Structure 1
Amino acid sequence: MKKFFITFIIICPIIFGQNNFFSKKEIPVFRPNIHTQFLIFKVNDQFQVTYLYKIPYSRIVFEKVDDHFESGFELTLEIKNRTNTFVKREFVKDKLVSKSFEETISNTIYLENFLTITLPKDEYIFQVIFEDKLVNRQRPQIPVNLSLNDSIKNYSSLLIEKKNQNGKYLVANFSGMLPYSKENYDMIFFSRKFEEGKKVKITISQNDSVYLEQFSKPINFGRPVFSKINDKVSITFDSTYTLNGIIINDINKKLDEGEYLLRIISDDDKELDTDKIKVTWLNKPFSLNDSDFALEMIASIEPEDAFDQLLKRKLPSSELLKLYWKSKDPTPGTAFNELMEVFYDRVDYAETNFRNLSGTSGAKTDRGKIYIQNGAPDQIERGVNSDGKITETWYYQSPKRIFVFVDIRGDGSFRLESK
C-alpha cells in the first residue's frame, strides 16, 4: 500500500501538473448518422405517408453464427390522432446477414427499408420505435407531429441516386438534406401547378448568387410505389394516377454547405413553386470544425515560406481555408474537394491515434505528420532498440520509404529517428 501511495504521489504531479492537461481539445466520438424521413403524397382524398430509414451496421448488434454474422431488427410505427386516440400500428422486420466482422462495424453499409401507410386528413402523432431483436433493446425516437391537410405541401420531393435498375430509381435518404459529397444526385420535384409538356425554369440560389439553372418539361410520373432491390429502397410509379414532376439533374454538384432557395418558374415568368434546400457535409472530418486548427494543419504539407505567405492575407481562417483548397481542387467543376477530404480524414486519424499521454495533439507528433503527408503505411513493425526503447517502423512500398520512430520517454511520444 505504501509503495502504491508513493508511486501515486510521484506520477500525479507529472501528469496533472502539465500545463492545460484538462483543457486539451477533446477528440469527438464519431457516431454515424441514422437517416430517417417522412414522404407525403396526396392520393385523391387520402394521404400516402412513407417512412424511410437507413441505419449503419455499426449501430446494430450482430452475433456470430457458424461462418457468418446475423442480426434481427424491427421497426414499430404507432400513430395517434390529435385527441391522442390510437389510430394504427405497423411493423417492419429485417433479418441481416453479414459474411465478415468488418461489415458489422461499418459506418458505410446500411440497413435500408421503408413503411408506407394511407391516412385520411387529420393531425397525427407518429411514434417510431427501433428494436435490436438480438438484445431486445428498444430505442424510441422523438415523436413527430404531422398535419395532413390541403394547406401543407402535398407532394414530397425525392432525392435519387444516379443508378437506375430495371426502370426503378434508387432512393437516396439523407433525412431530407442534400449531401455535400463527391457523389452527385438527382431530384424528382412534384407540383400540382405543373402542366405536362410545358417548359419550366429551375434555379437554385443563395443571396444574390445563382448556382444552378436548368430547363425541363414536366411529365406524368404517377403515384410513387416503394419496394426493395438488393437491400436498397427503390421506387416506381403507378401511372394510373396523375402526378406531374420534373427531374433536376446533378442537383448538389455545384452546391457548397449551406441553405439555398429552389424556385420553379413558368415559361411566362410566373413563380410556380419554391422550396428551401439544406446542403450538409454528413461525415465531415471533425478537424474542420475548428478553422484555426484546420488552417494550422496545412503547415504539415506546405513549405514554411508558402504557409507564411498564405497567412499574410490577413483574412479569417475560414476564408483562408477556402482560398487555399480552391487552389488545390482536382475537380474545380464541382463544389466538393476530394483532396481536402482526404487530407482532413488523415488529420482526424492522426488526432485520434497518435496523441501521447501528455496530451500533445496527435496531428502534431512525428507519426502524425508522416501519416498526414503519406497516408497509411503498408506495413508496421514494433520492436525494442539497444537502449530498451520501443520502436515503430513504417514501410511504404510505392514509392519505397521507411520511417523509424522511437518512444523516447515511454509515454507514446514516438520521435522520428531516421527515414
Structure 2
Amino acid sequence: MRYIKFLIVLIALIEVVSGQHRDFSRGEKEDLKFNNQVIYSYWINPVQFDENLIFNYHIRYDFLLFEKTPPDKPLADTFQAKIKVMIELSSLELLTPIRNIEEVTIKTTDFQQTISKNLYYSSNFSLKIPAKKYKVTFTILDEIRNKEFSFKPFDIDLKDTSNFELLFIRESDLGIISLPEMKNKFYNFLPFSSEKFLLILPEGDEFREIKIHNRFVNYKLSRKENTGLRFSIFSLDTLDLIEGIYQLKFADEKSKPKSFEVRWIDKPEYLNNFDKAISIMSYLFENENPLAKYHPDKDELRKKFYEMWKKFDPTPSTPFNELMAEFYRRADYSLLEFKSVSQPDGALTDRGKIYILYGPPTKIERSFSKDGRPIEVWTYNVNRQIKFTFFDENKNGNYILQK
C-alpha cells in the first residue's frame, strides 16, 4: 500500500513538473547555436560568492520581436518585447530537475533600439544547489512570437571541487570581482575588443604559469603576483590573439589542457563573409588587392587578412584594429542604405565606396538635372572642402560618381 501511495505521489509530481514545462514550451521551437545574438557563460564554485553556480546571459535586442503599444493604450508609442528565460539542471541523482525562470519585459520608445546590434539585455541566475553532476539546458521563449529557442544541453560537474571553467573579465572590472556586479561581467571566451582583458584561474601552484598556442602563435605567461585575491590572474593585453580557437596548457602537466575561443561580439556583419570583406579592401589600394587571388585554408586566410590590415592599424601594439572595425561598420551601413534594384549590395556602389572611405558627409544636397535625373552632392569639411557629385543615371536608385 505504501508503495502504491508513493507511486501515485510520484506520478502526480511528474505530471505537475511536465505540465509546467509544457506551459513554457507552447508554440514553435528552434535549436540555437552559440552566436553573438545570445551569449551565455557560467562560473563553477566561485570562491567569492555563496552560490556554487553563476550563469549569466546577454540577449541582443535585434534577436527579439518588439510590439508597438496601440495609441489608445497606456504607454502609447512604446515598443515592448516579452520573454521568459529558463535554465534547467537535471541530474541522475535528483528526482526532478531544478528549474529557474525569469520573466522579462523590455521597453523602449526608440524604434532603432528594437533592431540594435549593440544593445543587450543582461541578467544571471545565481544558484546554490546540491553538488552533483548536471545536464544544463538554456531556453528562451519569445512570448510575442510564441517561439521557443533552446541551446544544445551541456554538462557541468559541481561535485568535483577541482573542476573549473576559463574566465575572462575586463581589466577595469578587477576591482569588483567579489561584488554582485561581477555576475554579469565575465565570459567563458575572450572577447576580441579594444578593451584589455584578464584571464582568471583558480589559485594554486599549478596555475603559476600557462602556455597559449595554436598553429600560428605560442606564448608563455606568468600570473600576476601579490594581487591579494584568491585567484591566479593573467594579463593578455600584450598577446596578438585574433579570432580563432587556442589551446591553454598549465605548468602542472597533470592538469588537462583546455581550449578557448577569441570571439568578436560586435563584429560587423560584412566580416562574416570573407570573400566580400576582401573584395572591398580594393578601395584601399591603387593597384590590385593583394588578397584577391590568395586562396589558402580558412585559418591561414584569416591570419593573412589581419596581417594586411595591420599596415593600416593606428594601434599596432594591440590585436584589435579600430580602423578595420570602423571600415566594416561603414560597409554594413552602406550595404542597406545605398542598395538599389540593380545593385543589392550598397557597399559596392559609388556612394558606398565614398561613405566607407570618408564616413558620413558634412552636408548632402539633393536636386535634379534638366532631364529629371536625381543628383546628390556630398560635401566633406575636413581640413579642406571636398565634394563628390553623384547622378542617378537610370533613375533606379544606383547613383554614379561623376569623375
TM-score of Structure 1 vs Structure 2, range by shorter chain: 0.7 to 0.9
Question: Is it true that 1:154 corresponds to 2:158 in the alignment?
Answer: no
- The separation in 1 between residues aligned to 2:97 and 2:295, in whole angstroms, is 57
Given the superposition, is the C-alpha separation of residues 94 and 163 from structure 1 closer, same or farther in structure 2, using an over 3 Å criterion? farther
- The separation in 2 between residues aligned to 1:79 and 1:216, in whole angstroms, is 35
CA drift of 1:32 comes to 4.9
Residue-by-residue CA offset, 1:218-249 (whole Å, 9 max, x unaligned):
8785xxxxxxxxxxxxxxxxxxxxxx421122
- The residue aligned with 2:44 is 40
- The separation in 2 between residues aligned to 1:290 and 1:93, in whole angstroms, is 36
- The residue aligned with 2:211 is 203
CA drift of 1:250 comes to 3.2
Question: Is it true that 1:255 corresponds to 2:244 in the alignment?
Answer: no
TM-score by length of 1: 0.70
1:161 touches 1:171 (CA, 8 Å); kept in 2? no
Gaps of 5+ in 1: 1-30, 222-243
- The separation in 2 between residues aligned to 1:58 and 1:287, in whole angstroms, is 17
Say what the alpha-carbon RMSD is for the aligned residues: 3.8
1:41 touches 1:48 (CA, 8 Å); kept in 2? yes
Counting helix residues as a fraction of each chain, which structure ranks higher?
Answer: 2
- The residue aligned with 1:400 is 385
Count residues with an aligned counterpart.
353
Residue-by-residue CA offset, 1:296-354 (whole Å, 9 max, x unaligned):
323323223xx47x479978593653443222221111112121222222233333333
Given the superposition, is the C-alpha separation of residues 94 and 358 from structure 1 closer, same or farther in structure 2, using an over 3 Å criterion? closer
Supply the AA of the counterpart residue of 1:75.
V
- The separation in 1 between residues aligned to 2:209 and 2:113, in whole angstroms, is 44
Given the superposition, is the C-alpha separation of residues 216 and 42 from structure 1 closer, same or farther in structure 2, using an over 3 Å criterion? closer
Given the superposition, is the C-alpha separation of residues 299 and 368 from structure 1 closer, same or farther in structure 2, using an over 3 Å criterion? same
- The separation in 1 between residues aligned to 2:292 and 2:158, in whole angstroms, is 57
CA drift of 1:143 comes to 4.8
Given the superposition, is the C-alpha separation of residues 138 and 124 from structure 1 closer, same or farther in structure 2, using an over 3 Å criterion? farther
- The separation in 2 between residues aligned to 1:315 and 1:139, in whole angstroms, is 40
- The residue aligned with 1:364 is 348
Given the superposition, is the C-alpha separation of residues 320 and 74 from structure 1 closer, same or farther in structure 2, using an over 3 Å criterion? closer
Q: 2:231 aligns with which of 236, 245, 248?
A: 245
- The residue aligned with 1:52 is 56
SS at match of 2:352: helix
- The separation in 2 between residues aligned to 1:179 and 1:400, in whole angstroms, is 39
Given the superposition, is the C-alpha separation of residues 367 and 59 from structure 1 closer, same or farther in structure 2, using an over 3 Å criterion? same
2:167 touches 2:200 (CA, 8 Å); kept in 1? yes
Residue-by-residue CA offset, 1:139-198 (whole Å, 9 max, x unaligned):
24135142536569622333222334666364566862212221221122116xx15xx9
- The separation in 2 between residues aligned to 1:76 and 1:342, in whole angstroms, is 36
Question: Is it true that 1:302 corresponds to 2:306 in the alignment?
Answer: no
Gaps of 5+ in 2: 1-34, 70-74
TM-score by length of 2: 0.72
Q: 1:109 aligns with which of 113, 116, 119?
A: 119
SS at match of 1:90: strand
CA drift of 1:68 comes to 5.9
CA drift of 1:257 comes to 1.7
1:353 touches 1:362 (CA, 8 Å); kept in 2? yes
Question: Is it true that 1:325 corresponds to 2:309 in the alignment?
Answer: yes
- The residue aligned with 1:3 is none
Q: 1:284 aligns with which of 258, 261, 267?
A: 267
Counting strand residues as a fraction of each chain, which structure ranks higher?
Answer: 1
CA drift of 1:116 comes to 2.2
- The residue aligned with 1:390 is 374
- The residue aligned with 1:163 is 172
CA drift of 1:55 comes to 0.8
SS at match of 1:106: coil
- The residue aligned with 1:216 is 224
